[in-house]
Amino acid sequence: MAGFFKSLFGGGESAAPAAAPAPAPKQVNKGHKVGITDTTLRDAHQSLLATRMSIDDILTVASDLDKVGFHSMEVWGGATFDSCMRFLNENPWERLRKIREACPNTKLQMLLRGQNLLGYRHYSDDVVDLFVKKCVENGIDIIRIFDALNDVRNVESAVRATKKYGAHAQVAVSYTNSPVHNTEHFVGLAKKLKAMGADSICIKDEVGLMVQMHTHYTTGLASMIYLKAIEGGCDVVDCAMSPLAMGTSQPADEVMVAALQGTPYDTGIKLESMQPIVPKIKEIRSHYKEFDIANPGVDPSVLSSQIPGGMMSNFLSQLKAANALDRIDEVLAEVPRVRKDMGYPPLVTPSSQIVGSQALMNILAGGRYKMVTNEVKAYFQGQYGQPPAPMDEEIKKQIIGNLPSITHRPADDLAPYLDEARKEIGDLAKNDEELLLYVMFPQVAKEFLAKKNA
């Protein structure tokens, strides 16, 4: 990753031809104010508390966080939309409106899975447009958009809608290591995103856009990664308040503020502005002991396996259910082989689930690809998009036979759906926001809306 940042931020050195003059001096970053995006109300509790923080608990600290002076606060998106309805009996749109009201001074940010929005499949372009419109209307200022395969075609509609409705379109690049993920690959990707209209990029400066850095503390390297990225020109980093930081969450707000204080990268945030919030968040965390993963220590094995913490916990629970915990090492060894077969997708939602499930089945079924999931078949057909590298042709033929492959943007095959969805849900959805609940999670939303509108 260090080489990637050196190139992307223009701080790297390149060898000159033998007959050329001596190379120009290495560019020196003289410093800049660094912004912090606080993830306490979204990614932090999604990572540590199974996304269970209620709006009542959120509102006990939201206005305090609003006064700190963060670059932005990530408060919505990711798994929160589903979790609100499925587990908390909350309307996610109402949650967003209440947070907006409590935080008039800070930009609110959300995470969006490109054409997947906040679900796990592609939605038609009319759904993407309406969903983004409602996000902005209800208070979102910055939409961070990503695609699991880094297929730029899968973020086009969301970027276009975000700019259409006046929000900031930040496109995220999923960083990973593989034979095809080199510096040139990522810089080329960043240039494509700039040409598409991205306002900023989440991992920058050769393309002339603001960059933000996001990582989790799982490996123990997160703070060091942030510092080196900042020295290379990174503008904003994602952190969380200390009671919900570290482990599989982000580095702590307070620690990053203290580390940069008095340096050319000073955040301008006062430590004392955060201190009164800490005991409140400690108290909130104590409400979720049932779901709390209790900040496990660092796991350096992720550096080689690239398996995220959530994926590892799924493996363990599935193997335990199959009375096969002793085969975990076989499964972990199979993951990189499956990933290679699939063209080296980054292990983020939903590709991590697709790769992980197939690796598990390859081991438990007693043979590679003897059994495959529908998602794997769809992946090899190209229904999720174009992977970073070519897929293994023999494996592909074994899985999909002579079925046609998709080389165009997958969402081009999706007809407009909103009118059909309105007919399906009928009077149960009273407005466009409730319609979108149904479009995203039909069964969960039906039950939720039936109770709400009874």
What confidence tier does 120 reach under pLDDT thresholds 50, 70, 90? confident
Once rounded to an integer, what is the mean pLDDT over residues 98-103?
Answer: 98
Once rounded to an integer, what is the mean pLDDT over residues 307-332?
Answer: 83
Position 45 scores a pLDDT of 95
Residue 113: pLDDT above 90? yes
Q: What is the chain's mean pLDDT, rounded?
A: 90
What confidence tier does 16 reach under pLDDT thresholds 50, 70, 90? very low
Position 166 scores a pLDDT of 98
**Beta-carbon contacts of residue 38 (< 8 Å; ≥ 6 apart):** 65, 68, 70, 72, 73, 74, 239, 240, 241, 253
Once rounded to an integer, what is the mean pLDDT over residues 73-101?
Answer: 97
Residue 387: pLDDT above 90? yes
Position 17 scores a pLDDT of 29
The CATH homologous superfamily for domain 302-411 is Conserved carboxylase domain (1.10.472.90)
pLDDT in tens, 172-202: 999 888 999 999 999 999 999 999 999 999 9
Position 7 scores a pLDDT of 37
Position 15 scores a pLDDT of 31
Once rounded to an integer, what is the mean pLDDT over residues 265-294?
Answer: 94
How many separate helices (H) and strands (E) can be counted in the chain?
21, 8
Q: What is the three-class DSSP state of 386?
A: coil
Once rounded to an integer, what is the mean pLDDT over residues 226-253?
Answer: 94
Residue 121 tokens read as 């499949």
Q: How do the domains of the chain map onto residue ranges?
A: 33-288, 302-411, 417-452
Position 429 scores a pLDDT of 96
The residue written with tokens 């104590």 in the block is: 286
Position 206 scores a pLDDT of 67
User: Which stretch of 18-27, 151-160, 211-220, 435-444 has the lowest confidence by average pLDDT?
Assistant: 18-27
**Residues 190, 208: Cα–Cα separation, whole Å:** 10
Q: What pTM, to 2 d.p., does this model score?
A: 0.89
Q: Is the dihedral angle over the CA atoms 107, 109, 115, 118 positive or is it negative?
A: negative
Residues in the chain, total? 454
Domains 33-288 and 302-411 alike in fold: no
CATH 1.10.220.10 fits 33-288, yes or no: no
- Tell which residue, 333, 350, 341, has the closest CA to residue 369: 341
Q: 14 or 79: which carries more pLDDT confidence?
A: 79
Contact status, residue 230 vs residue 263, Cβ threshold 8 Å: no
**Residues 337, 358: Cα–Cα separation, whole Å:** 11
The residue written with tokens 């990707």 in the block is: 189
> 442-452 and 432-440 helices cross at what angle (nearest 10)?
140
Position 303 scores a pLDDT of 76
**Residues 190, 194: Cα–Cα separation, whole Å:** 6
User: Which stretch of 166-170, 210-214, 262-266, 316-320 has the lowest confidence by average pLDDT?
Assistant: 316-320
Longest dimension (CA), the chain: 81
In percent, the amount of the chain with pLDDT more than 90 equals 78
**Residues 348, 352: Cα–Cα separation, whole Å:** 5
**Beta-carbon contacts of residue 262 (< 8 Å; ≥ 6 apart):** none
pLDDT in tens, 26-70: 454 678 999 999 999 999 999 899 999 999 999 999 999 999 999
Once rounded to an integer, what is the mean pLDDT over residues 324-328?
Answer: 92
Residue 3: pLDDT above 70? no
